[in-house]
Structure 1
Amino acid sequence: MNIQWKGVMPAVTTNFTAEDTLDFKMFEKNLNYQLDAGVEGVILGGTLGEASTLLEEEKQDLILETVRIVDGKVPVIMNIAEQTTRGAIEAANKAEANGARGLMMLPPMRYKATDFETVEYFTQVAKNTSLPIMIYNNPVDYKIEVTLDMFEELLKLDNIQAVKESTRDISNVTRIINRFGSRLKVLTGVDTLGLESLLMGADGWVGGLVDAFPEETVAIYKLAKAGRIQEALTIYRWFLPLLELDINAQLVQNIKLAEVGTGLGTEYVRAPRLPLMGAERERVLAIIDNSLKNRPTLPEYKSL
């Protein structure tokens, strides 16, 4: 399956039971809602997926189950976030063997690599997999920026095809398009810049709150791409207080609470994460409750 690198792609949460095992029943319910809403890919094992807490056998089971559920409707993309080049290559090979059709890749974890080391890291992984790759560029959280000059080198490799643009600099979408045209597909990775990035020409949106609100997210994307900007903007303005829950250190807990609100998940997280407590929990619940009370009626968007 070729990946078009467009549309809405949820960075899905990993559902757990009260006994801290993988909850595939709830996971399947959420995925089916994503597919019904019109997402164009599913991304596993990111920050929202709590990948750093998953055992290797759990990651394998997660890919296999996701491949079964989506049944070829959309590509399954596995996030790679490793400390070593060797580990990243092994993770990429396992993902491919288990049915993933693409990779999202972070720079090396824990070590602040130089520009040369970062390019070499991505290069070696790309040379050792046939899967297409989206580079996750998030210097705010991971302290390494993949610059345009670095992408110039990386794009010599055919299977490096897209960027999850999370620099928080909206003008970077235009810089990328001006320099690379359609050679490097741009997917925004910051929920609070979702519509703005699409209007600047981004090809897609890797979302977080889409996990709880798939229809609203896909509707914004479809309406924006169809030129129905005012309709997209109306939904987006309603959505913004929820989207701001994604740019927060407790984004996993926040989004899982939102999933509870829409019946698409549970709030079980894996320690050391713990469910929200006290005043912060009440603040987040108030945002979710108010948004649900004022949830907009969506236009027919799926055929756009």
Structure 2
Amino acid sequence: MPQFEWKGVMPAVTTKFTKNDTLDLEMFSTNIKAQLDAGVSAIILGGTLGEASTLTAEEKKTLVEHTVDLVNGKVPVILNIAEQSTKDAVAAAENAQRFGASGLMMLPPMRYKATDYETVAYFRTVAQNTDLPIMIYNNPVDYKIEVTLEMFEELLKHENIQAVKESTRDLTNVTRIKNAFGDRLKILCGVDTIALESIVMGAEGWVAGLVCAFPQETVAIYKLALAGRIEEARQIFRWFLPLLELDINPQLVQNIKLAEVATGLGTEYVRPPRLPLQGEERERVLQIIEEGVRSRPELPDYKNI
């Protein structure tokens, strides 16, 4: 089984498109290189931010293979699994392994609101059919299914279920999980606006969104917090918060792609039915981004902490 550590900043990267709605691998590569230069720990493909629901199987294959080639063993490449049937989820996991991914992030069944028993059976079946390590994405706010401690008790019988992307938005859950499972279940914060607090409370990592546009600042916060330099981390986080709030919004993809344009790391093209922001909302988001770029903090030498 491929082994890597579930820790550090793991960007859930956006998928770059051309104006003709094809994959823009050139701009995608520019962004990935910036992530690697900043010191991220992994690359996560095909998440919500990656517009996974609109990607074809062939496009996912292209993205994984291109990213694996690009990172050249520096960091693991993780593919998100978000399927409607267990059979499709197993097939997606098998494909991910074949394409060269080193790990999986897994959502519960899509569209159908599965019971606790059904959700555990779904995750278990996929875990039994892949050697790849798995991070369960626990986001009851957006996906209406919560993976409880009792459910994790069952799931952790499978050695390759190793981490949780903790997106319940309940900060006390970090402590609850640590009290229940110690280091057996690694915690990665999945909500940008409480990432610093989650790291301070013991989360091993951060599956980040605004990192797509601001990779250095994101990794700096993580490294400073881990080193106990909380005041320095807090000052950067205070600057970052208005931008981070763009992640907890139904138009998070459009918001973050607009931020990527401002920092030279992306384009605004999204795949319909998503469309670029319009009118007053666009102006509001642009103001936040422009102020963030104008007042970017000077960072310490965080890579050598």
TM-score by length of 1: 1.00
* Structure-1 separation of matches of 2:57 and 2:97: 14
1:129 equivalent in structure 2: 130
* Structure-1 separation of matches of 2:3 and 2:242: 35
* Structure-1 separation of matches of 2:4 and 2:301: 26
2:253 equivalent in structure 1: 252
Q: Which amino acid aligns with 1:124?
A: T
* Structure-1 separation of matches of 2:116 and 2:4: 27
Deviations 1:196-235 (A, max 9, x none): 1001100000000000000000000000000000000000
1:13 equivalent in structure 2: 14
Q: Which amino acid aligns with 2:144?
A: K
Runs of 4+ in 1 over 6 A off after TM superposition: none
1:153 equivalent in structure 2: 154
* Structure-2 separation of matches of 1:116 and 1:25: 44
Q: Which amino acid aligns with 1:234?
A: Q
* Structure-2 separation of matches of 1:2 and 1:218: 22
In structure 2, the residue corresponding to 1:78 is in which secondary structure?
A: strand
Query: 5+ residue gaps in structure 1?
Result: none
* Structure-2 separation of matches of 1:147 and 1:56: 31
1:115 equivalent in structure 2: 116
2:56 equivalent in structure 1: 55
Deviations 1:270-296 (A, max 9, x none): 000000000000000000000111000
* Structure-1 separation of matches of 2:181 and 2:224: 26
In the TM superposition, what is the alpha-carbon distance from 1:303 to its structure 2 partner?
Answer: 1.4
Deviations 1:110-152 (A, max 9, x none): 0000000000000000000000000000000000000000000
1:292 equivalent in structure 2: 293
Query: 5+ residue gaps in structure 2?
Result: none
**1:130-279 equivalence runs, <5 A:** 130-279=131-280
* Structure-2 separation of matches of 1:230 and 1:2: 34
Query: Does 1:24 pair with 2:25?
Result: yes
In the TM superposition, what is the alpha-carbon distance from 1:3 to its structure 2 partner?
Answer: 1.7
In the TM superposition, what is the alpha-carbon distance from 1:2 to its structure 2 partner?
Answer: 1.6
In structure 2, the residue corresponding to 1:152 is in which secondary structure?
A: helix
1:106 equivalent in structure 2: 107
% identical aligned pairs: 72
* Structure-1 separation of matches of 2:121 and 2:56: 27
* Structure-1 separation of matches of 2:60 and 2:13: 13
Query: Does 1:46 pair with 2:61?
Result: no
Deviations 1:82-102 (A, max 9, x none): 000000000000000000000
Deviations 1:153-184 (A, max 9, x none): 00000000000000000000000000000000
Q: Which amino acid aligns with 2:252?
A: L
Q: Which amino acid aligns with 1:282?
A: E
Query: Does 1:84 pair with 2:102?
Result: no
Q: How many residues were matched structurally? A: 304
* Structure-2 separation of matches of 1:199 and 1:226: 10
In structure 2, the residue corresponding to 1:302 is in which secondary structure?
A: helix
* Structure-1 separation of matches of 2:4 and 2:63: 20
* Structure-2 separation of matches of 1:102 and 1:215: 24
Q: Which amino acid aligns with 1:229?
A: I
In the TM superposition, what is the alpha-carbon distance from 1:14 to its structure 2 partner?
Answer: 0.1
TM-score by length of 2: 0.99
Deviations 1:55-105 (A, max 9, x none): 111011010001011011000000000000000000000000000000000
